[in-house]
Amino acid sequence: MICWPALFKLEGDDELIYFASEQECVCETKELIIGSEDHLVDSKGHVFTVQFDQANHVYFLRQNKRYTLDEVTQLIQKHEFNAAQVCITKIVFSTIEQAVRALG
């Protein structure tokens, strides 16, 4: 089960997409071209791939990988550096959930 909010990480891109809820994620991911390495990182660091069934319904498949707080912080630093909005050295979080919510 996904702990919302969550971040969507597109392979080969430093930009992250913030999703506050499953409903928002389902609506938005239907509009994206999803690659095999694209994945969702929830507020606990768990990784999920986005899959589509034959009727084009979205479902999420949990992977064995889990991000650490440092890894999530690095993702956010790269995202913010790409957006050139904040000094990345000042980006520090106490929990993964706090890090994910920072992009909301």
pLDDT per residue as tens digits for the range 9-37: 999 898 899 999 999 999 988 888 888 89
pTM over 0.95: no
pLDDT at 21: 96
What's the CA gap between 36 and 92, in Å, rounded?
Answer: 30
DSSP for 61-104 reads EEEEEE--HHHHHHHHHHHHHHHT-S-GGG---SSHHHHHHTT-
pLDDT at 34: 87
pLDDT higher than 60, residue 59: yes
What's the CA gap between 52 and 102, in Å, rounded?
Answer: 29
Please tell me whether the peptide bond between 5 and the residue prior to it is cis, using omega within 30 degrees of 0: yes
Q: What percent of the chain has pLDDT over 90?
A: 50
pLDDT higher than 60, residue 103: yes
